Chain A
Amino acid sequence: MWLPFLGLILGLAFGLLTDIQIPSAYENYLSIAVLAALDTIVGGIRANLQQVYDDKVFITGFFFNIALAIGLAFLGVHLGVDLYLAAIFAFGVRLFQNIAIIRRILIQKWEDRHVKKGEKTV
């Protein structure tokens, strides 16, 4: 359980320590990549809790989502249409939905445990 958090902290440290400068025009892509990554992680957690988790889906989803979002943003920049909004919208909505599902599942689990405990005690 602690491994993902360790990874997150490790990644954060790496990210904070890297000193590579990219043109400010590409910062939009980065924000979308962040959103895509978060969406994938939350999606993975949800899938894990729903016991429909699959390594391949997870890892391909991670990279494919990021690539798709960045590609969409890239296309949007070059077409003069803010297509990255579509990615942000989709990811945002899915992020909230996934978090809501996770929350419900967690509440359900907690209630189940509580009930079991109650049964045991009684």
Chain B
Amino acid sequence: MMGRLQHKQGKITRKHFISLFVCIVTGFIIGYSYNLAKDDKTLRSKFLEQEDYYRTELINQQERNKELMDELNELKGQIREHEQSLTEHAEDYKELAQEAEKLRLILGELPAHGEGIKVTLKDGDYDPKSTNPNDYIVHESHIFMVVNELKISGAEAIAINGHRLKPNSYIHCNGPVITVDGKQYPAPFEIEAIGNSETLISALKITGGVFDQLINDSIVVTIQAVDNIQMAKGGR
């Protein structure tokens, strides 16, 4: 009886031992694979998070790019408008610039150079017949005549004895010398003018014009064309 019971008990324990062992192994495998799957899941979720992060960043960047592109296009449009208006007004600007340059030359604010003429007025030789020396010396009026004629005929810059004439320059006679802007210059007077020499010379030599009148007043006048006259800008 006892032996049989013991045998039965032993059988039971062995059976139970085997089932315990199998269950432990199975549980171990299940738990282990669960662990792995969990790790895998967390890993995957981490990857997903990273992917999400990068995706949102990419989207943000793309949006920013789009904004900047819009801005760029807008600015390009503005530039185009500016360019169009510029081309429309370019000729005007050019003309205005040229005019400004011309005006500056006339104002004597710029040093001038170029072809031109040189008119030399010298007092006439002593004439024993004449009692009045005023009849053969150069007067301011003669210089006025020459200067005005030159200005009318398109001289861009005029200088008397190297003194650049400005629009507000004044010339007056002061005995044997003339005063230009407060500076005295003796005879002979060299009047330099920059401009088309042919035009200027022909303007001066027109019949009954300045040249003739000067000759008439027995003043020695020489007119010569000069290829290149250098003229400093007018002093204050």
Task: Indicate if the CB atoms of A7 and B34 lie closer than 8 Å.
Answer: no
Task: Indicate if the CB atoms of B18 and A59 lie closer than 8 Å.
Answer: yes
Which B residues are CB-close (under 8 A) to A5?
Answer: 23
Interface size class of A (residues with CB under 8 A): 35 or more
Which B residues are CB-close (under 8 A) to A62?
Answer: 22, 25
Query: Count the A-B residue pairs with Cβ separation under 8 angstroms: how many?
Result: 105
Q: Is the interface of A mostly helix, strand, loop or mixed?
A: helix
Give chain A interface residues in 50-88, CB to chain B under 8 Å: 53, 55, 58-59, 62
Task: Indicate if the CB atoms of A8 and B26 lie closer than 8 Å.
Answer: yes
Q: Which one of A26-34, A93-101, A105-113 is at the B interface?
A: A26-34
Q: Is B75 an interface position by the 8 A CB rule?
A: no
Task: Indicate if the CB atoms of A55 and B27 lie closer than 8 Å.
Answer: no
Q: Is the interface of B mostly helix, strand, loop or mixed?
A: helix
Q: Is A24 an interface position by the 8 A CB rule?
A: yes
**Interface size counted on chain B using CB atoms at 8 A:** 24
Q: Is A89 an interface position by the 8 A CB rule?
A: no
Task: Indicate if the CB atoms of A34 and B18 lie closer than 8 Å.
Answer: no
Which A residues are CB-close (under 8 A) to B170?
Answer: none
Nearest-CB residue, chain B, relative to A22: B36
Nearest-CB residue, chain B, relative to A17: B31
Task: Indicate if the CB atoms of B28 and A11 lie closer than 8 Å.
Answer: yes
Which A residues are CB-close (under 8 A) to B23?
Answer: 4-8, 10-11, 41
Nearest-CB residue, chain A, relative to B12: A3
Which A residues are CB-close (under 8 A) to B40?
Answer: 24, 27
Q: Is B54 an interface position by the 8 A CB rule?
A: no
Partner of B30 from A11, A44, A53, A59 at Cβ < 8 Å = A11
Partner of A9 from B14, B15, B16, B27 at Cβ < 8 Å = B27
